[in-house]
Amino acid sequence: MNPDQRTVLDRTRAFVRERFEGESSGHDWWHIDRVCRTAVAIGREERVDLHVVELAALLHDVADWKFHDGDEEIGPRTAGSWLRSLGVDDETVAHVSDIVRDISFKGAGTPTPMRTREGDVVQDADRLDGLGAIGIARAFAYGGYRGHPLHDPDLEPFFARSSAEYMTHRGSTINHFSERILLHAERMNTETGRRIARERHEFMERFLDRFHAEWEGRE
């Protein structure tokens, strides 16, 4: 017999929170919590399976390939193993695992289409957390974690054509906005995601204008 959905969600939430609380790269528990809440809100608007959406949002970073030597299968493998340990049905395990596998940005030149509407929703929620004021804060947290310089005006943005290029490239945090973050708004999957992304994107552009003005000594 399948376990109660609420029990599965509660146990998964506790499992992920314990695993990520205190993480310092911007991929911490509170990032996951925000993505989960945003995904459920978008999912209601888009009329998709909210149980799958919430589970996938909770597990989307459970073993991020960027922090595991580029292993793109460790995330879906870890998510699937956890869900099976709770007795979750095979169809749901496969659906959530596919979302975890496909969700991540892997370079400007590497398309990352989702296979289902639930995947579209979770991917949009994850991308939205990379935009706006929180997106700015997370970008600098991640840059510091990776040892990237704040800004180097001699470095041009690098638009990775593959996940391998994206994984090995070391640029500046300010270039990371052009190389990844500012691409999110145009790559949203849902109308709800696009609507939210527009304002957050514009806020980031204003921040970058101000950053460069201060850097160059302009008022």
Residue range 169-199, pLDDT digits in tens: 778 999 999 998 999 999 999 999 999 999 9
pLDDT at 15 over 80: yes
Per-residue model confidence as pLDDT tens digits over 77-108: 999 999 999 999 999 999 999 999 998 876 65
Within a 13 Å sphere around the CA of 206, how many CA atoms are in the beta-carbon half?
A: 8
Provide, rounded to the nearest whole percent, the portion of the chain with pLDDT above 90.
74
- The pLDDT-based confidence of 215 (bands split at 50, 70, 90) is very high
Which CATH number fits the domain that encloses residue 109?
1.10.3210.50
The domain of 26 spans 5-215
The residue-averaged pLDDT of 203-218 equals 96
Instruction: Kindly report, residue by residue over 124-137, the tens digit of the pLDDT.
Output: 999 999 999 999 99
Report whether 39 contacts 9 (CB < 8 A).
no
Q: Which of 67-76, 91-100, 152-161, 206-215 bottoms out in mean pLDDT, i.e. has the lowest?
A: 67-76
**Distance of alpha carbon 210 from alpha carbon 130, whole angstroms:** 19
Model confidence, pTM: 0.91
pLDDT at 156 over 60: yes
d(CA 140, CA 172): 10
Amino acid at position 173, single letter: T
Number of domains in the chain: 1
| Res 157 pLDDT > 90 | no
Among candidate residues 36, 11, 18, the one with its CA nearest the CA of residue 87: 11
